[in-house]
Chain A
């Protein structure tokens, strides 16, 4: 159990810089160039990266707007594409206990949650004393957000310098990175949920494209949960 604040800070910086910050830099370069190609302003690109902070929702917003969808449907589309943040926040916040006077700050902390910090927290928190987990999370999140915003600006400004094939490659990097990041989990219930969720995600996307992720989460998550419980009861 790590109890030294400085060691926690070092760990957070090292974990963030070792790879998540770079992936975010590069995938947001892809996003920045997409925004430029869609004839939308730089300020909007930066606001979307920092404000939405979830690439699938950001891509949905730009794509639907370019396709001519009305404001209402674009906003709805973004909400549905980013619904994962609900279970992610619920399953993450209890791992970072806070003094009761400090509850309001959680609403700020929640904004920094992304798949990177979620996965990093789930992996590292068991080794860090609960009082210092916030420190880890904030440092990690600030570095990631900083590089995401930087990448957005770079991508927007250098759009003519980045060949189209490479810009596409940078966008492709995002799901691949998510996949390898999650493929590293060792918890059996998590692996089950990922493997059940993948085909269900495709299935629901074809059947009910708008509610695909919500249904995948509810049905796939519950299935994985039940499978996990059955296995546990057999073991015991």
Chain B
């Protein structure tokens, strides 16, 4: 029973943002300054979220050292830019390094 409430609560808590977003969105046109503002607010939140997920993760990534997380992240981003902004090589290089470092240098 607790798990059902937990699941529904989590779903509801997320959906509220989406529903309020739909309501606000009907009052905004794409050429207004408010529209540009909410777009950059989204980007700022996403930038902050990514930084937090890497540097101060919630969940199982805490087990892995900050060095490994930062090194793999930076390498992945470098891979993305060096291959002409292609997503696939960037992600594969970063995740590959992340997994390899754990296997071969578990003490970093």
Interface residues of A, Cβ cutoff 8 Å to B:
19, 23, 34, 40-41, 44, 47-48, 51-54, 56-63, 65, 71, 74-76, 78-79, 81-95, 103, 106-107, 110-111, 113, 115, 118, 165-185, 189-190, 192-202, 204-206, 212-213, 216-225, 228
Contact = CB atoms under 8 A, between A and B. Distances in A.
B6 A71 contact: yes
B46 A44 contact: no
B13 A78 contact: yes
Interface in B79-108: 80-81, 85, 87-88, 90-91, 94-95, 98-99, 102-103
A168 B102 contact: yes
A176 B95 contact: yes
B52 A212 contact: yes
A173 B61 CA distance: 11
B96 to A, nearest CB: 8
Given A78-B10, A216-B49, 11 more contacts: A57-B10, A59-B59, A71-B2, A74-B10, A75-B10, A87-B38, A94-B35, A180-B87, A180-B91, A202-B48, A224-B43
A176 B76 contact: yes
Contacts, number: 304
Contact of A172 (B29, B61, B87): B61
A172 B65 CA distance: 12
A28 B90 CA distance: 19
A47 B88 CA distance: 29
A106 B28 CA distance: 15
A91 B37 CA distance: 9
B67 to A, nearest CB: 13
B63 A173 contact: no
Task: List 10 A-B pairs, minimum CB-CB distance, nearest first.
Answer: A201-B48, A89-B21, A197-B47, A221-B41, A220-B44, A197-B44, A51-B11, A216-B48, A93-B25, A193-B43
A171 B81 contact: no
Nearest to A33: B60
Contact of B95 (A47, A58, A172, A223): A172
A91 B48 contact: no
B92 to A, nearest CB: 9
Contacts of B22: 89, 93, 106-107, 110
A182 B46 contact: yes
A193 B81 contact: no
A19 B28 CA distance: 32
B51 A198 contact: yes
A222 B36 CA distance: 10
21 contacts: A23-B91, A48-B11, A52-B14, A57-B14, A61-B10, A76-B13, A89-B22, A90-B28, A91-B41, A175-B49, A175-B54, A176-B77, A180-B87, A189-B40, A198-B51, A201-B51, A205-B48, A212-B48, A213-B49, A220-B45, A223-B44
